[in-house]
Structures are given as C-alpha cells and as structure tokens.
Amino acid sequence: MLRRSIMALGLVSGGCAPATAPLPMPATQASEVLEQFAAGAAPEDVCTPEGRALLRGAVRAYAAEMQSGGVDWPALPAADGASGDMRSVDASVVIAFAAGFVEASDFSGPARALVRQVSFAQWPAIAEMRQAARVACEQVAELQQSAAHFVLEASRYESLSADAGVGAGAQDSVARQARRMQRARAQMEMRAAEVDAAVRAAEES
C-alpha cells in the first residue's frame, strides 16, 4: 500500500530536512544522544536540520569510538531478516538509516559498507521509509520509533526461541514474547498506515 502511494506521487521533492553536516561531539555525548533517541526523547527534532545534524554527529562519533575499540557497530539484521542480538540503540540507529535520518558515511569500519546491504524487503513498512520521509517526515519519524521497537522485540523473540528449553516455563516465556512482538508489529503497521495517508494527501494536494 505504501509503495503504491510513493510510486504514484513520484517524490521529486527534497528530503524532509536539508542535508546538514554531522555535528562534531565527544563519544560520551554521542552515547547520551543515541540513548535519548532510542527512548523517543531526542533533544532535537530529527525532521529539522539541527536534529539531523545532531543525530548524524552522534552516530558518527559513537561509531568511530566503537571502531577504535575493535567493535563493529551497530548490530545489523541478517539477510534472512533475523535481527540477531540487538540493543535498543542498535535497532533505533539501523531504522534511522532506513528512514534516511543518518547516512552510510556516518558509520565506521565494515558497518559503513554493510549497512547499505541491509534489506527490509520482508517488512515493507520499513523498506519504503526513506522515500516517504520526503513528504511525510513527521509521520516517518513516528514510524521509525515503532519499527525500531518491533525489530528489538523480534530480536528478543529470536533469542528466546533459540535458547528455550522444553519445559512449560520456557515455552510460556516464548509465547509471551511472541505476543509482545505481535503487538509491536501491529503498532508499526498502524504507523505505516499513517505514513501512507500522509503520502496520499501529498499526492492529492
């Protein structure tokens, strides 16, 4: 549904915020900014040039710090869609890239190339975010938060499923996490419908 609306609109307009150079900052500040962003409490609106510069600067500084310590960051979903052992910041940053809020050049080491190869084809609501943000940035920002939450819950479900034993308690834990994942999916799909409506409105205006 979202893809059809985007194709009909053509999306020849620019992004939801002008291209802005990443804001330099120390790694400690970058970590704080990323934690706030993942919690939905970013200090700046990511749909503004200032907010985009702050987020990109935080990703760039934190990625460089992690790379200097020999750590590849962020954790990335596998080609089959499995999200692996992701933290909330990992999921948030990966989905922010999908939305066009950060760029591949903001990452360091292998992640700079690998992030371009991440596919969300199995989740159309995520796959079309970057284009939709050009005319519906506020709605895409809401979708970004919901999608990151879903990816995190999916990661937890995968981990629980892989480690679960045969006892009733273990199976109950997996079932509870499955329900949490489905609720997160429903929230993501609701936000995607809001993006679709905004794109359609732009098409008609």
Report the pLDDT value the prediction gives residue 6, as an integer from 0 to 100.
38
Report the pLDDT value the prediction gives residue 82, as an integer from 0 to 100.
54
- Domain of residue 39, residue span: 2-204
Residues 93, 74: contact at Cβ < 8 Å?
Answer: yes
**How many domains is the chain partitioned into structurally?**
1
Classify 179 as helix, strand or coil.
helix
pTM equals 0.85
Q: Provide φ and ψ at 135, rounded to 5°.
A: -125, -5
Enumerate residue ranges in the chain where pLDDT < 50.
Answer: 1-15, 80
User: What is the tens place of the pLDDT at every residue in 67-113?
Assistant: 999 998 998 876 545 555 689 999 999 999 999 999 999 999 999 99
